[in-house]
Amino acid sequence: MAVCGPNTNGIVNVTDGIVCGLAPYAQLSDRLPAGDIALVSQSGALISSLVLRVTAAGLGLTCSIAVGNAVVLGVGDYLRLLAADERTKGMVVYAE
């Protein structure tokens, strides 16, 4: 089984309303605007800031993914998945 993390805020799929994580903004997931931008970050703190800034700018999200330590799945794995997602038109990536 492929696993996200450890040490991650997890994944929030805004488009389908699926929350798999404990990010501070996850409790607002039903109010996050759906759109066509995906966020991928190795930093949980930064992904929270990115979600708030992107949505405050009036842009919508397909998902946000905090990769964490990337023991099994890394940034490249998520980028390949998102590149094949027809709902995702753009990505913002933070990699350390």
pLDDT along the chain (96 residues), means of 10: 88 92 77 94 91 94 94 95 97 93
Q: What is the pLDDT of residue 92?
A: 96
> What's the pTM value of the predicted model, to 2 decimals?
0.92
Q: What is the pLDDT of residue 27?
A: 75
Q: What is the pLDDT of residue 25?
A: 77
Q: How far is CA 89 from CA 5, 26, 60, 82, 93, in A?
A: 25, 22, 11, 9, 13
Q: What is the pLDDT of residue 22?
A: 82
